[in-house]
Amino acid sequence: MRYQQLDPDVRLMLRVRDDDEGNAAAAFEEIVRRYQNRLVRLMEHLGPRRDLAEDLAQETLLRVFRARKNYQPGAKFSTWLFTIAGNVARNAIRTQGRRRELAEVDSPGSPSGSQAAVLEGIAVERSGLMPARQVEGEERAEMVRQAIQNLGERQRMALMLSKFEGMSYIEIAEAMDLSTKAVKSLLSRARVNLKELLGPYIDQERSSADSDEPVDEEA
């Protein structure tokens, strides 16, 4: 059985490509529905700004549609889609970078600022000044988000594909046009960097978990 007969996304994309029975739009809309949340999440972390995530996801889908006639079902559809997404995000970062360079604006809190400093600020505030306070909910998410933003472009991409898309090293290598060895190194660096960036928080959570345990038992 050919691969595309197994992968429903590939089958949908083939219908888009071949305009099967005039249902290209319906098939493409189904692809959009399947991937919209995943693409937007990817773009929130890969793109230059979170508020551009939906626009970049749409740009990715537009490129997929434009390239439909050349689509060859040689790999998983998601691999192809995320390759395009990576390119779109990279271009957006470059464009934003150029604009920033020209405008020479480095507004506080913008991605061009020192995100390591922002992250450190959060870490100090949370773990240093308010040691007893647990970082929770949106604050915790923001901290993790900042940590991801501090990773290099390629590390971020590899991390997102591995963690959230569950892609293997081989699939990530294909999506990013790298060797599997390079992917292995990227992910190692990403994990080590994350550990360092989130170190204070990890320690805090661990110690908090340790101190909670007896209380729970007494309770």
Partner 1 sequence: MSTLPSQNRAYDDDDDSPVDELDELLVAYLDGELDEQQRRDLEDRLILDDALRQRLGGLQHGWELLDHLPQASVTGDFAQTTVEMIAATQSRTLAITGRQYRWKQYAWLGALLTSIALCSAVGWFFPKALDELQFRRQLADLPLAEHLDAYLLEVDLGTMVKLSKEERWQRAMQLAADAGGIVVPVSLELGQRDKSQQIDVLGRMDRDAQSKLSANWGRLNALSEDRKQAVQNRYDEVRSLDHPGDVLKTMQQYASWWNQLSPESMNRIFMAKDDERIETILQIVERSSLLWVQNYANTLGETDRTLMYERLRLMARDRIDQAEVIIDEAKAQGLSLGNEQRRWFVGPERLLERIAYFALWNFDQQAKRGGNPQPNAGGNSPPPGPPPAESGQVDAGRGDAGRGDAGRPGASGSDVRKSLQDRIGQLLFSPPSSEELAAVEQVMSNKALAILGARTNSEQSRQDILWRWCAETIVQTSPRRDSAEVILDRYESLGEEYRDSLDLKSPDKIFDELQDPRLRP
Cβ atoms within 10 Å of 72's Cβ, excluding its own: 9
Site residues (CB under 8 A) for partner 1, limited to 179-218: 184-189, 191-206
CB of 2 to partner 1, least distance (A): 25
CB of 14 to partner 1, least distance (A): 15
Q: Which amino acid is at 168?
A: S
Binding span for partner 1 by CB under 8 A among 4-12, 73-81, 84-92, 135-143: 135-143
Instruction: Indicate the SS3 state at residue 33.
Output: helix
Residue of the chain from 77, 80, 82, 169 that contacts partner 1 (CB under 8 A): 169
Binding mask 29-58 for partner 1 (x = CB under 8 A): x--xx--xxx-xx--x--------xx--xx
Cα–Cα distances (Å) from 116 to 143, 150, 151, 182, 199, in that order, read 11, 6, 10, 25, 13
User: Rounded to whole angstroms, how far apart are CA atoms 156 and 162?
Assistant: 10
CB of 18 to partner 1, least distance (A): 11
Question: Interface with partner 1 includes 74 (CB under 8 A)?
Answer: no
Residue of the chain from 116, 133, 177, 213 that contacts partner 1 (CB under 8 A): 116
Cα–Cα distances (Å) from 104 to 48, 97, 168, in that order, read 16, 10, 40
Question: Interface with partner 1 includes 14 (CB under 8 A)?
Answer: no
CB of 140 to partner 1, least distance (A): 5
Contact indicator for 56, 92 with CB cutoff of 8 Å: yes
